[in-house]
Structure formats: structure tokens, C-alpha cells
Amino acid sequence: MFLVLFGTVVIAGIVGYLAEKTGFTHNGYLQSIIICVGGAFLFYFVRIMFGFGFGSPGMNAILSSVGALIIVPTHWRK
């Protein structure tokens, strides 16, 4: 379970970097990585507490990171 947490952080960081590199977001590299890691942490703990998930832990990390990138920046933009 502890290695799944590390894998979640690594996958979320890669998703944040790639989202910024490809132009999907325009937040800055560090901000996108922080948003992705935060969303992945949140969904990881929801999965542990409630057993809700999309399948494998890797798929959970990818989908939660992309979801956080979609929700967070658009929420604060005008």
C-alpha cells in the first residue's frame, strides 16, 4: 500500500508535467504538478476510505490528476 502511494505521486507528477509540456494547461510546470499531486492524493485517500475507484491504482492516479487539472484552474479563472 505504501508503494502504491509513491507510484501515485510519481504518475501524478508525470501527468502534470506532460499536461504543461503539451499545452493542455498554462499554469506553469510547478503549479500543474502540485495540482495533479493534490488531486491524486485526495482520490487515493477516498479510495482507501470508501473503496471507490476506476480499476487499477495507476488508472486512478491518471484520471484523478487529469480531473484535478480540469477542475482547479477553470474554477479560479475569470
pLDDT at 26: 85
Nearest residue to 27 via CA among 46, 45, 58, 19: 19
Dihedral (CA of 26, 36, 10, 18) sign: negative
pLDDT at 75: 61
Enter the pTM of the model.
Answer: 0.87
Among all chains, which residue has been given the C-alpha cell 487529469?
A: 66
pLDDT at 13: 95
Rounded-to-integer distance, Cα 12 and Cα 33, Å: 7
Nearest residue to 53 via CA among 40, 62, 43: 43
AA letter at 12: A
Q: What is the pLDDT along the chain (78 residues), one digit of tens a residue?
A: 789 999 999 999 999 999 999 988 888 899 999 999 999 999 999 999 998 888 899 999 999 999 999 988 766 665
pLDDT at 21: 94
